[in-house]
Amino acid sequence: MRGYFAIGIVGASKAGNMGNLIRTAHGFGAAFVFSVRPKYEESLAKVGTDTSKTAAAIPFYEYDALDKLTLPKGCLLVGVELTEEATDLPSFRHPASAAYIMGSERYSLPDEILAECDHVIKIPTKFSLNVATAGAIVMYDRLRLLGGFAERPVTPSGDPIEQPPHVRGGPHIRTLKNEIR
């Protein structure tokens, strides 16, 4: 896969959520992880949720203000936020090089950060998700689309489309007994 990605949180108030997110980012192959204005007191090294010891494997940057956030040349900033204007994640084409930025557990991304984003995407859910869960969904979607995987087959088994026996003129009630061959 060409390019790279990073992911971070603005105003993270729970070290556990940050630890969970950076562990997941490590698993999905993030180039680096970051936090802007973290509000927790604990050291991430002491947080039990980052069992993969991410800080020893990939860079972790903490910035005390948005204007201190620096990204590599050509890296696009992608906000993850539930707004009317945001692009639904299933309709979004991930940039080759991107840094995804998310709001904290309690607050949305500040307007000043949304204004700096090259793109804003949203996960089409009924309400806001846990920040680490939302980050995992975005990273999975990126990997699924840019990871070089084969297209999904039309049917779950990968076989050509065929009417199941219980629909081809047989009984219209599916039972396990009819499915066992």
Give me the number of domains the chain comprises: 1
What single-letter amino acid sits at 21?
L
- Does 95 fall in a domain? yes
pTM: 0.81
Domain carrying residue 75: 4-146
How many helices (H) does the chain have, and how many strands (E)?
Answer: 4, 7
Nearest Cα neighbor of 13 from 33, 49, 37 is 37
From first to last of its 181 residues, the chain has per-residue pLDDT tens of 689 999 999 988 777 888 889 889 999 999 999 988 776 555 554 455 556 667 778 898 888 888 899 999 999 999 999 999 999 999 999 999 999 999 987 778 989 999 999 999 999 998 889 999 999 999 999 999 998 888 877 777 777 666 555 555 555 555 655 555 5
- Does 162 fall in a domain? no
- Does 31 fall in a domain? yes
CATH number at residue 14: 3.40.1280.10
DSSP 130: P
- Does 86 fall in a domain? yes
Nearest Cα neighbor of 113 from 10, 41, 38 is 10
